Amino acid sequence: MTRAAVFDVDGTLADTNHLHVTTWWEAFRQAGHQVPMHAVHRAVGLGAEDLVEHLLDPDRDRSGDAAVTAAHTALYGTYSDRLPAFRDAGRLLETLAERGWTVVLATSAGGAELDALLRAIDAGDAVTAVASADDTEEGKPAPDPVRHALRLAGAGAEGAVFVGDTVWDMKAGTRAGVTCVGVLCGGIPRADLTDAGATAIYDDPADLLAHLDDSPFGGAAS
């Protein structure tokens, strides 16, 4: 049986959540919207259109939404050559691949942003495929990105493990029927991740790697 190790990227493998918070906040400010940073932080992990919809007044004039998204893309793009991966992120993916897991990424990022993240993680050939924002009509918390990742891996939900840092990740994984593992490095509280479906929680990729044998990834995949 193929066993899939599915990973979110932003805030899970790469230390980028607060870059997203700052650049989204600035994009909203430039468009005349007052959105507090703590609200933006809680929304990170949603696709761009869903994030804007989640944070702004539903009765607004939506003609400016595309400009907000474009501004965020431009602002965040200024960091693309220096996005930081979390310690041992690439090594974690490589170790899982060596143990027989099929490693797939499921992320809201796409295009040049995704390319920059993959360079930062530097996991070599460990990643079999990527389910990006470009591949599904609905993003997290819908299960579509995780289900697409499983299709790319040729794996079923049983035996698959999804690692993420946000409530949206945990909800998407739970709805897809996979085991959900949370990491705290994205800044979301442990209780929130647990309530959303995380069955195990680790500080960051290095902590998960250090406890891999006792985690839902314990043992070699068949």
End-to-end CA, the chain? 6
Residue 55 and residue 65: Cα distance in Å, rounded? Answer: 11
Phi and psi for 57 in degrees, rounded to 5?
-60, 125
User: What pLDDT was estimated at residue 54?
Assistant: 98
Picking from 100, 97, 146, 145, the residue whose alpha carbon sits closest to that of residue 124 is 97
Enumerate the domain spans of the chain.
Answer: 4-16+84-214, 17-78
User: What pLDDT was estimated at residue 219?
Assistant: 56
Task: Write down the pTM of the prediction.
Answer: 0.95
Measured between alpha carbons, how far is residue 210 from residues 15, 103, 146, 187, 214 in Å?
19, 18, 25, 20, 9
What tokens does 107 get? Answer: 């992320």
The CATH number corresponding to 4-16+84-214 among 3.40.640.10, 3.40.50.1000, 3.20.20.80, 3.30.70.1020 equals 3.40.50.1000
User: What pLDDT was estimated at residue 108?
Assistant: 84
Exposure string over 182-209, b if 16+ CB within 10 A, otherwise e: bbbbbebeeeebeebbbebbbebbbbbb
User: What pLDDT was estimated at residue 167?
Assistant: 97
| Tens-binned pLDDT, residue by residue, of the chain (222 aa) | 899 999 999 999 999 999 999 999 999 999 999 999 999 999 999 999 999 999 999 999 999 999 999 999 999 999 999 999 999 999 999 999 999 999 999 998 888 888 999 999 999 999 999 998 778 888 899 999 999 999 999 999 999 999 999 999 999 999 999 999 999 999 999 999 999 999 999 999 999 999 999 999 995 444
User: What pLDDT was estimated at residue 79?
Assistant: 96
User: What pLDDT was estimated at residue 171?
Assistant: 98
User: What pLDDT was estimated at residue 21?
Assistant: 98
